[in-house]
Structure 1
Amino acid sequence: MAKTGKLAAFALGEKKTAMVNLPAQFVTASGADKKGQQYSNLVDYADDEKKTSDLNNDSISELIELKEEFKQKGYANRTSATTEREPIFSSDKLHYNNHDISNLRKRLDKAQENGNNIHELAFSLRGDWLVKNNLYDPDTGIIDQDKLKHAQQNIAETLINKGFNLPLGESDNDVVWFGVIHQDTDHLNMHLWFAKESQETRPEMLKQKGKYKGQPIGVIPLETIELAKRQFRNQLMSTVEHQKRTDVLKRLGTLKKEMVEVGSQSLSSDKYAKQIQNIYQALPHEQKGRWQVGNSSLSANNTSMSKANHLTNNLLDNLFENDLKNEYENFQQLGQQFDAFNIEDQGVMHKGQNTLSKNKDDELRKRLANQLYRYLNQVEDTSLDTIDQQLEKIKQNMAANEKLKTGLKENSNPSSTSSNTQINKNREAEQTPHFPKGSRTMSRISRLWRQDARAEINAQRRFWQNQMRKERDQKIEEYESKQPRRFY
């Protein structure tokens, strides 16, 4: 991000980085007091003749820290960054006049006097993303600033109410916040500043130990910031772009269910019986009844299920290569298509982050694996003999061992060693769980699989019917709200 020296001259053609969100930051009242800085310095009055002075604008870096913004009086509504005469807005108005600015400054100073932090969250929106979502016309330089402001009004509520252990304000009017749109860089920037006005006394909202004991908590959890960013993007995204993403997700969901149903039938055929038997024997039988992939992936190591999971993963590779080749390729392509949408919306993925296509693939494999394990849990282990059978085997083993001790020197010749080895193999075979032979077991697994697939398809159908009903009701409500009211 760099300054352009112009207004609404955003860079275009930036691939894979269409929208980027900047981190949150805050300044403590004590820190600002020590430097003689005032929260109210962030905004200044608009002069009808020359507006806010901006003589020091050249010294402002591309993205400065909040503590540095106080040095530039009227940083928020400086003329070189805004096109509107009254660019400051808040929850009650989209344009603050001088009277509103006066009240805002008083409240900001009151918040500082009461020892509260001031928070800032900045959003950087790429030009390509703005154009694609009908928020910016590069030919005219016109920006849909009202829509941008309405979106920020909504996320301000999320940050203020969900960004801390308790809602930041102790009443509806206990938080002062304001926002502004800056246009003097190659990306459109939106800033949001907010602070609690009354003195904070709630223990849940104060640091309880350490260097800053007794001061208000300043850090907003990352998950809350990410939630606000998602809400912000979703509100600004055009209907066309929303529909593109919805269509891909619907197709992914439908294809996944088809693959589960077809895959279930294929896995219950004789072609995969040997692999399923090997999986059954590799499962930790002391945990029978609780077999599942769990939180780890099928490729994870060092878990009690690792050996069975690896074999199951290989089984699924064979399934996707043979019986579900076309479906699986389409599934991967749809996932990668949504990955491209995410890059447009959020920027390039960070190292260590999983793409949606990877997550969806893991979900599909886990679904099929857990389904297989659930059915294998119901298989009766044929290695579990009756008491009489176990006693008879013990007697036979004792007799065989006694015969080896008769002094016939059978222990010293190859035939004796071979006999002893065979006895040990027989013992191991008796202790190893055996997958029941015959077609009845695979038929039962197939039947259970089909029942589960039908139940899921019916549940999904009900879900989409409810979604369509909600969308229809919402459209009716929006239409009725736009109709002029008649008074009789």
Structure 2
Amino acid sequence: MTETPDIIYTQQFVAANVQYLDYSEREEAVDLLNDFDLETGESNIQHDVDENLAGYLGYTDRKAATKLEDGLTGVYPTFTQDSLNLTHKQHHELADKIIEAQKNKSMLWQGIVSFNPDFLERAKLYDPETGVVNQRAIKRAVQKAIPEMLKQEELNVPETFWWADVHLNTNHVHVHIGISQTKNTRPLKFGEPKGRFQTKSLKKIKSIVHREVEDKVSRKQDINLEKKIDELKKDVVDQLKENLQQQHQQKILEQIWHALPKYKDKRRWRASNNSYDFREAKLLTGKLVDDFLKTDLNQDYEEYLSAIKQKDSDNREKYGQNIPDSIPKNQKDLHDYLMNRVFNELRKVDIVSTKSNFSERVKWLGIEGNNELIEVLSKQLKNTKSDITAKKLKKEIGIRKYYVGVLIKENKNKNYLDQISELKEKGLKNNVQDYLINDLQEKYRLGVLQLIPRNKRDNDNKTEYQKLVNKHADVIQLSVKKINEEIVAQKNQYLDEWLKVVKNTKDPNVQIYLKN
């Protein structure tokens, strides 16, 4: 990637109280009218110098920076929307417009489009051996781009006019652009016309100029990349529809259906709906889409993201490193699009024969989803004035908190089993390994017993549970009222054994054990 982008656009604006003659003070920016030969039309004459003529026009078309294309005489290098090279009459008309703009205290926007020489060479618009630049192609590109930028700024009105000149006096070919209005139509801010353009307007002129200037091969590559992105997106959507028809997905869809608010207008089932009553269905659907993207749709999804990444890289090469990463936006857009496809499928069915299993929905939503929903429900509880609604919300919050606790314990148990397997696979047969595995097995057993409701534990389970709690439970979680000398002695004995093994061994298995 080159350090310099293919194309740069910068713009500034000056208020009416700033004389447009600022630039004309430079000697190289002034060419006297009497140097112009009306009979021969010599091309070394670039502009008139009226005493009242705006200096920026004199700067943009000055002889030191511009050059007429070969074969042209009796015209100016300056171009506008209607002409690639102004005649003497058109140049005077432009000067009159600028003077009128100044009298009416309009704004002057001064823009510069600068090209990387390597880009112009690749586009076959610049020959480094002869130094010849295809000004006509550059001018046509600018003529194409400026109206789009003006439309974006609501400046596409009869009062608006612009002019520009291609400058060849630096290493980077660049185009100076002047935009103004014979009578201001912009909103006023602090008594002056609004000067700042939107960022997307400035991006638009860069993208259009680049598109119009680049060679056909590069343009074809861009088009092919865009097609690839569209095709990959379509493949992901098609695969989603196929997967939703599979039998094992029907149970999940039923849970989402039961969570959906039964709106009269089902078109409200949309990813953009952020209302309280839609939140659970939205989170469930989002999790379904996430699971698909990590499994069945993953290959096409990763290719899609890779293509987006390539497009970002190409754009940074074209327009500069400040081009933002578009992957997060495209990920969200695709995610919302897929969620809406799920809602579309659910609109087609009426699941009345199955029962809603609230506990399954809660568990399937997971820790993160339930915590997010608990936060939403808590805000709703705070704002409700209905006792019936408040009671219902408190009950749901309590159930969800209970299941979050269950899910946390299940995840912890899974981690214990994973660590035991890892130790058995990689560890050496020794006393340290045996101790660590036995310790993890006891913690796992405690976790299993914790998942059994108190009223369903038999006497043997209760005895085993209490013994394991005394040994392994986090001291922060132990109630002060329940601590006695026996528990303290057991806990100290365990900690002494544990520290002796962990501190006094260089066995690498200890690191596996200490992961959590």
Q: Secondary structure, in 3 states, of the residue corresponding to 1:379?
A: coil
**Which of 292, 299, 304 lines up with 2:270 in the alignment?**
292
**Which of 264, 284, 302 lines up with 1:329 in the alignment?**
302
Aligned to 1:380: 351
**Structure 2: distance between partners of 1:315 and 1:149:** 52
Q: Which amino acid aligns with 1:367?
A: Y
Q: Which amino acid aligns with 2:106?
A: N
Larger relative contact order (Cα-Cα within 8 Å, sequence gap ≥ 6): 1
Aligned to 1:211: 190
Moved more, 181-190 or 276-285: 276-285
Q: Secondary structure, in 3 states, of the residue corresponding to 1:81?
A: coil
- Structure 1 residue 332: deviation in Å? 2.4
- Contact 2:145 2:209 (8 Å CA) reproduced: yes
Aligned to 1:248: 225
Q: Secondary structure, in 3 states, of the residue corresponding to 2:179?
A: strand
- 1:137 paired with 2:127, answer yes
What do the CA deviations read for 1:320-349 (whole angstroms, capped 9, x no partner)?
Answer: 343234323322222222222222333224
- Structure 1 residue 148: deviation in Å? 0.6
What do the CA deviations read for 1:455-482 (whole angstroms, capped 9, x no partner)?
Answer: xxxxxxxxxxxxxxxxxxxxxxxxxxxx
Aligned to 2:116: 126
Given the superposition, is the C-alpha separation of residues 315 and 27 from structure 1 closer, same or farther in structure 2, using an over 3 Å criterion?
A: same
Moved more, 38-47 or 114-123: 38-47
Aligned to 2:158: 169
Given the superposition, is the C-alpha separation of residues 139 and 359 from structure 1 closer, same or farther in structure 2, using an over 3 Å criterion?
A: farther
Aligned to 1:149: 139
Given the superposition, is the C-alpha separation of residues 371 and 81 from structure 1 closer, same or farther in structure 2, using an over 3 Å criterion?
A: same
- Contact 1:43 1:105 (8 Å CA) reproduced: no
Aligned to 2:10: 22
- Contact 1:43 1:101 (8 Å CA) reproduced: no
- Contact 1:21 1:125 (8 Å CA) reproduced: no
Moved more, 325-334 or 279-288: 279-288
- Contact 2:312 2:325 (8 Å CA) reproduced: no
- Contact 2:24 2:55 (8 Å CA) reproduced: no
Aligned to 2:318: 345
Q: Which amino acid aligns with 1:368?
A: L
Q: Which structure 1 segments of 5+ residues have no match?
A: 1-12, 54-69, 297-301, 386-423, 429-488
Aligned CA RMSD, in angstroms, stands at 4.1
**Which of 237, 245, 248 lines up with 2:214 in the alignment?**
237
- Structure 1 residue 310: deviation in Å? 4.1
- TM-score normalized with structure 2 length: 0.54
**Structure 2: distance between partners of 1:161 and 1:44:** 35
- Structure 1 residue 240: deviation in Å? 1.6
- Contact 1:45 1:101 (8 Å CA) reproduced: no
Given the superposition, is the C-alpha separation of residues 91 and 366 from structure 1 closer, same or farther in structure 2, using an over 3 Å criterion?
A: closer
Higher helix fraction: Structure 1 or Structure 2? Answer: 2
What do the CA deviations read for 1:246-292 (whole angstroms, capped 9, x no partner)?
Answer: 11222222232233222212232233344434444554557882222
Q: Secondary structure, in 3 states, of the residue corresponding to 1:26?
A: strand
Aligned to 2:337: 367
- Contact 1:168 1:196 (8 Å CA) reproduced: no
| Identical-residue share of aligned pairs (%) | 23
Given the superposition, is the C-alpha separation of residues 17 and 229 from structure 1 closer, same or farther in structure 2, using an over 3 Å criterion?
A: closer
**Structure 2: distance between partners of 1:364 and 1:211:** 43
- Structure 1 residue 176: deviation in Å? 4.5
Aligned to 1:412: none
- Contact 2:142 2:209 (8 Å CA) reproduced: yes
**Structure 2: distance between partners of 1:29 and 1:363:** 44
**Structure 2: distance between partners of 1:39 and 1:108:** 14
Max Rg structure: 2
Aligned to 1:82: 66
**Structure 2: distance between partners of 1:38 and 1:14:** 33
- 1:316 paired with 2:289, answer yes
- 1:182 paired with 2:167, answer yes
